[in-house]
Amino acid sequence: MSVLVEAPRVNANEDHLQLIDIRVEQGQRMEHGDILFVLETTKAAVEVFAPEAGVVGRLDVKVGDFIPVGAVLC
């Protein structure tokens, strides 16, 4: 079963976040709660965690990208 990881809404006033760190690679095994990405708003850095154990299927983003809220990260 595939699980999509999406960019979260962190602040009601911001529709985009900047991706500042990727902590996984395509094909890498991840466990529930592992940090996958770090996103930044104008006010804070936010870690995105693995919702469950599995393998990263593909990465659709790169460091420096501005990501819309709800966009698929992996």
Mean pLDDT of successive 10-residue stretches along the chain, which has 74 residues: 88 94 96 97 94 91 96 93
- Amino acid identity, position 3: V
CATH number of the domain where residue 22 is located: 2.40.50.100
Q: DSSP 3-state assignment of 54?
A: strand
pLDDT at 11: 87
pLDDT at 1: 65
Contact 57, 26 (CB under 8 A): yes
pLDDT at 48: 97
Does the residue 43 lie in any domain? yes
Does the residue 33 lie in any domain? yes
- Burial code of 10-24, b = ≥16 C-beta within 10 A, e = fewer? beeeeeebebeebeb
Does pTM top 0.85 for this prediction?
Answer: yes
pLDDT at 52: 94
- State which residues form the domain around 50: 16-68
Task: Tally the domains of the chain.
Answer: 1
